[in-house]
Amino acid sequence: MSGFAKPLKIALGLAVIIGLIVIPMNFNRYGLFILSQWAVMTIAAMGLNLTLGYAGQVSLAQGAFVGIGAYAAAIMTTHGWPLPAAIVVAIILSFAVGWVLGYPALRVQHHYLAFVTLAFSTLAFLVFRNESWLTGGIYGISNIPRPHFFGIATNKPLPFYYVCLGSLAIVSLAVWWLIRSPWGRAFMALRENPLRAQSLGIDTRRYTLMAFAIGSALGGIAGGLYAPLTQYIDPVPFNLSLSLDLLMMVIVGGAGFFLGPFLGAMIAVLLPEWLRFTEGYYLMLYAIAVMLLLIWSPTGILGILDRTMAARRTKAASALRAVAKSRLETVQ
């Protein structure tokens, strides 16, 4: 069966990629903005999926890292630095801060860790708001330029959408490589059974810090794209509710699944737009849809798929076992 499924998967993947490149060519300004936002939020959610979904470390601070990346990019590009340089700085900065935020995780876990990261999220928000010499305070930073690549300006929505999509592609490849490497296996071991992981030589301290740092760095990349996307930033979008939104994307999509953040971000960013025709009710419908989904499948959308496939495999396996058993009995 898997021999058949693999080409099918590749074909489907290619179709989606081509679709993401071709179809938006006819989109209007707003449609392209929403789709670019989806790409940016997917990157941030992939980071959180690494920290939470794979390595099992709860974080309510991913939105703060998007903010750190956004401010780094906004400050640098408005002072004449090119965006790629600003994104490199955003990565280094959020990696370093994420590493430090990982230290509490070496002592506290689960709800307690959630509260530590929540406090950090608030702290970051206060820095964005109060340190106006650097961040512009409540007035924010406006006129954030969009980059030129190889002499091509990305001021218009379509070229900048391709910048976001291209970045998403690069990040996806990197994350895919990471999770199928021994590191991915070590992260999972950290989540499933830290005690056993240690006894197998897995340095759980270093992997915990790495999980936080890398996940946060992806948040920083997302921020570095968010600033030129909106071209204006202030502290409000990076408050706790962004962290909660990102957490919801990871959970709804399916924590610990590679494709989870893509689906989760799609639901969080696009579903409210699709529900707009219901006017005043759209947020309520959206909330109800998310609740129903999580009641039906606590492991998210991809959890449903995973369960169906596991059930099918078990059926196949028990059928094989039954055949083997009946053969044994005939031999006897």
Partner 1 sequence: MSAVLEVTNIKKNFGGISAVADVSFDVREGEILGLIGPNGCGKSTLFNCILGQLTPSGGEVKLDGKVVTGLRPAELNKLGVSRTFQLLQVFPKLSVRENLILAGQEHQGSMASRLVGRSDAGLTDAANQMIGFFKLDHLAAEPAGGLSYGQQKLLDAAMAFMGGPRLVLLDEPAGGVNPSMLSDLKERLVAINREKNATFVVIEHNMEFVMSLCSRVMVMAEGKVLAMGRPDEVRKNPAVIEAYLGH
Buried b (16+ CB within 10 A) or exposed e, 83-119: beebbbbbbebbbebbbebbebbeeeeeeebbebbbe
Closer by beta carbon to partner 1, 25 or else 195: 195
State the minimum distance, in angstroms, from the CB of residue 17 to partner 1.
Answer: 23
DSSP 21: H
Secondary structure (3-state) at 290: helix
Q: Return the number of the residue (108 or 316) whose C-beta is nearest partner 1.
A: 316
Smallest distance from partner 1 to CB 198, Å: 4
What does DSSP assign to residue 266?
Answer: I
Could you tell me which residues are beta bridge partners of residue 148?
Answer: 153
User: Considering the complex, what minimum distance in angstroms separates the CB of residue 48 from partner 1?
Assistant: 20
Select 41 or 210, whichever has its Cβ closest to partner 1: 210
Q: Which residues contact 209 (CB under 8 A, 6 or more apart)?
A: 99, 102, 103, 105, 106
Q: Which is nearer to partner 1, 205 or 289 (CB)?
A: 205
- Token digits for 57? 């470390």
**Number of residues that make up the chain:** 332
CB–CB of 261/49 below 8 Å? yes
Closest by alpha carbon to 191, among 207, 171, 215?
207
Residue 201 beta carbon to partner 1: minimum distance, rounded to whole angstroms: 4
Which residues make up the interface to partner 1 (CB under 8 A)? 178, 180-183, 185-186, 188-189, 192-193, 195-196, 198-206, 314, 317
Q: How far is CA 114 from CA 7, 110, 123, 200, 244, in A?
A: 41, 6, 14, 28, 11
Minimum distance from CB of 176 to partner 1 (Å)? 11
Identify which of 266, 270, 208 has the alpha carbon closest to the alpha carbon of residue 46. Answer: 266
Residue whose CB is less far from partner 1, 51 or 117? 51
- What is the token pair recorded at 188? 């999972």
Distance of CA 332 to the CA centre of its chain: 57
Min dist CB 303 to partner 1, Å, is 13
How open is the CA angle 151-92-205, to the nearest 5 degrees?
A: 150
In the complex with partner 1, which residue's Cβ is closer, 159 or 185? 185
Quote the CA–CA distance of 255 and 48 in Å, as a whole number.
Answer: 9
Nearer to partner 1 by C-beta: 25 or 200? 200
Alpha-carbon distance of 260 to 61, in angstroms, equals 19
Tell the smallest beta-carbon distance from residue 162 to partner 1 (Å).
28
Least Cβ distance, residue 88 to partner 1 (angstroms):
19
Phi-psi region of 191 (alpha: psi -120 to 50; beta: other; left: phi over 0): alpha
CB of 272 to partner 1, least distance (A): 33
Q: At what angle do helices 301-331 and 240-253 cross, to 10 degrees?
A: 30
Nearer to partner 1 by Cβ, of 183 and 238: the residue is 183
155 versus 308: smaller Cβ distance to partner 1: 308
